[in-house]
Structure 1
Amino acid sequence: MDLDFLYNMNEGPLRSGLIVLGAALAAVLVAVIAHRIGIGLMRRLARGHLFTITATEVAYNASRLCLILFLLRLVLTGAPDNTPGLTSISYLTSVALILALTWFLIRCVKSVSVAVIKLNPYDVADNLRARRILTQTRVLSRSAYFIIGLLGLSFVLLTLPGARQFGASLLASAGLAGIVAGIAAKPVLGNFFAGLQIAFSQPIRIDDVLIVKGEWGRVEEITGTFVVVRIWDERRMIVPLQWFIENPFENWTHTSSTILGTVFLWMDFSVPTQQVRAEFERVCRTLPLWDKRVCVMHVTDAGERNMQIRLLVSAADSGSAFELRCQIREHMIDFIAKNYPHALPRLRAEVQAHNDPDADADAPGAIIDGSPREGGV
């Protein structure tokens, strides 16, 4: 934009500065009005298109700032050289425009991730596919944030004459091999690549039920560097992403949320197993948490004092399985205690009388040769 026709080159720098300031204010006003009109048209034309509507909402402020800075940069490009502070203002505007574009790209990625999550809600009963998409979306979007931020910082450094070489090397570090050479933080790199591996191979997903270091919990959040596991008692375990790549762990919902639960009872050998089995099957049919797949009783062990009975039941998820096991355990103990109290575990001992003639002879009141012996002194 050439503004030489607005300026009189013979005038002083103060007059030029005032004219540039007026042109800048006009550019800001034009940018705000044009942005509002453009966003309104996009929303009207994209009615029913979730991705476009989400982008206009999430990236609204970033896109407006980019348009304002772009028009300001055009105004400053056409300003005369005698404008006070032109060099510094032009440089700051260029840096601000680069940062605004970086912010705009990040918000665009954010809008895509938000739209994908809206299209795949995971707060439903069968949410395996939704959780897979949610995990990939969050991990990949955060990786994209990192790369976009790295590129933005590199372009800012490229505007500095003294740091041009450093900025070029940092820009090259956006590549796979360049990141390793450009950043010395090995744990950060390990977690970054672990996040990409988790996004594609998916050993864990959002809302998965895990056993991590002996603790039962659900995956609450997956960030770019760590995983937040919500323990059953509402504690939070923070685990680095790389740990899930290098260590074995249990995932109870990797392919399905259904699970089997076991209840162990120790009974006396006199317990009537057929009656206990019939009661167990009856109570399973009355419990709503049972998913009607498995309801089996076995005598799995027998020791010298009692025998072990295993009650195996199925449930839709691990939380339901825990409650179902507790309900069955309480009912079966109460049933056996009321109907077969003799079948509760007991310790058997056989007491035999031991007769010692010498001891009997020395005892007070013992009979010796047909006569009772006097006791005492």
Structure 2
Amino acid sequence: MVQTADPSRCTVLWPLSALLAIVLVTLALGWLGDQILQRLARRHPESPVWALLRRCRIPLQLVVCASLLMAARPIERIFDLKGDDAHHAVQLALLASLGWLTIRVVAAVLEGFYLRYRSVTDEPSRIQRVQTQLSLTRRVVSALIAVVTVAVMLLTFQAMRTIGASLLASAGILGIVAGIAAQSALGNFFAGLQIAFGDTVRIGDTVMVEGQQGTVEEITLSYLVIRLWDYRRLIVPTSYFVSKPFENWTRKDPGLLGAVLLHLDHTTPVPELRAALHEFLATHPLWDSTEWALQVTDTTPSTIVVRATMTARTPDDAAVLRFEVREHLVAHLRDHHPTALPRIRTGEGG
């Protein structure tokens, strides 16, 4: 008696085998792509984009897996599903994976370009400008890709295609209402683009905002994060930097001229104090050897105003240098010329 194969068993084994093959092919392609990128990164160390593209392995595997699932449809046959619900779910997963993969590729290319540019450029101002522009470009492109991906996913639903005409008819009214409601958000958005490509402020710049000095730590499309000297973070809307004046101490040159004011007695030996300043700066590591001076800038009935100026490489170095110069000059006068320090005169011979 000849035994025949169970038809139901065959109809399950084939989809299971197809599903297993899809998983193996997905893992193999992900591993193969990673090996190719590693080899390219070792062969071309001057192009960091190949190493950065390895971050795209997971979304690439999801794209491959979803594409094969759509082509073979093993899930419907395993669970004996009727209709297009499972196929539609796989289609949504494929669209989401494609959007994720595109965002990862764009981010890797932009970051690779920045690292390459930083390796061949020595000017900090240009590096900060490119970093700011690429950071905001990545955010804008990622947001656009996400919006387009979600829109395409919604259009796969029959209900969304059916009500498309009515949505287009009311788009004008909704656009006006949304524009009024999101006026502030849109203003910050366009202000962020203006900051990125107008080169008014960049990541790493030292700025003075509302009497607060700090370093720009992060720039987004809606706000800037400024790290203050005591490590507090000041959050400022991007629209502030296109509508109000502010001080950018490092826009052209990160170096800065620091100044120290001293109120001293009229008997102060200014030439000797000038020599003491020069001797101190010559041995100080924070002075950049560009410029220095000590001058009497004003007089009052009881004192003279002496201003000592010196340059440093960065605003932080200039602040520390000012503190130490002030301390050194006061100590020098106290030890060698105590009568040069300001005194309160109580009589003709006081």
Aligned counterparts of 2:60 and 2:96: Cα–Cα separation in 1: 12
Question: In the alignment, which of 127, 152, 155 is matched to residue 155 of structure 1?
Answer: 152
Report if the CA contact (8 A) 2:293-2:310 is conserved: yes
Report if the CA contact (8 A) 2:265-2:303 is conserved: yes
Please identify which structure carries the higher helix content. Answer: 2
Structure 1 counterpart of 2:51, one-letter code: T
**Greater C-alpha radius of gyration:** 1
Alignment of 1:70-85 (within 5 A): 70-76=67-73, 83-85=80-82
CA-to-partner distance for each residue in 1:75-118, whole Å, 9 max, x for gaps? 139978x9524411011011111111010001011111321232
Asked if 1:26 is matched to 2:21, the reply is yes
- Single out whichever of 50-59 and 224-233 deviates more from structure 2: 50-59
User: SS where residue 162 of structure 1 aligns?
Assistant: helix
Asked if 1:98 is matched to 2:95, the reply is yes
The offset of 1:68, in angstroms, is 0.6
The offset of 1:182, in angstroms, is 6.6
- Single out whichever of 107-116 and 136-145 deviates more from structure 2: 107-116
Structure 2 counterpart of 1:217, one-letter code: G
TM-score (norm 1): 0.79
When the two chains are superposed, the root-mean-square deviation of aligned CA atoms in Å is 3.1
Structure 1 counterpart of 2:326, one-letter code: R
> In structure 2, do the counterparts of structure 1 residues 68 and 302 end up closer, same or farther at CA, with 3 Å as the change threshold?
same
Aligned counterparts of 1:68 and 1:305: Cα–Cα separation in 2: 85
Alignment of 1:274-289 (within 5 A): 274-289=271-286
Q: Which has the higher contact order (CA 8 A, sep 6+)?
A: 2
Number of residue pairs aligned between Structure 1 and Structure 2? 333
Aligned counterparts of 2:324 and 2:227: Cα–Cα separation in 1: 24
Report if the CA contact (8 A) 1:154-1:167 is conserved: no
Using the aligned pairs only, state the percent identity.
33
TM-score (norm 2): 0.85
Unpaired runs of 5+ residues, structure 2, are 1-6, 169-173
Aligned counterparts of 1:106 and 1:281: Cα–Cα separation in 2: 55
Report if the CA contact (8 A) 1:157-1:166 is conserved: no
Match of 1:48 in 2: 44
- Single out whichever of 300-309 and 241-250 deviates more from structure 2: 241-250
> In structure 2, do the counterparts of structure 1 residues 263 and 55 end up closer, same or farther at CA, with 3 Å as the change threshold?
closer
CA-to-partner distance for each residue in 1:224-269, whole Å, 9 max, x for gaps? 3221111110111111222212221111110111110001111111
User: SS where residue 59 of structure 1 aligns?
Assistant: helix
User: SS where residue 269 of structure 1 aligns?
Assistant: coil
Report if the CA contact (8 A) 1:217-1:232 is conserved: yes
Structure 2 counterpart of 1:87, one-letter code: D
Report if the CA contact (8 A) 2:258-2:319 is conserved: yes
- Single out whichever of 318-327 and 100-109 deviates more from structure 2: 318-327
Match of 1:243 in 2: 240
Unpaired runs of 5+ residues, structure 1, are 1-10, 172-177, 353-377
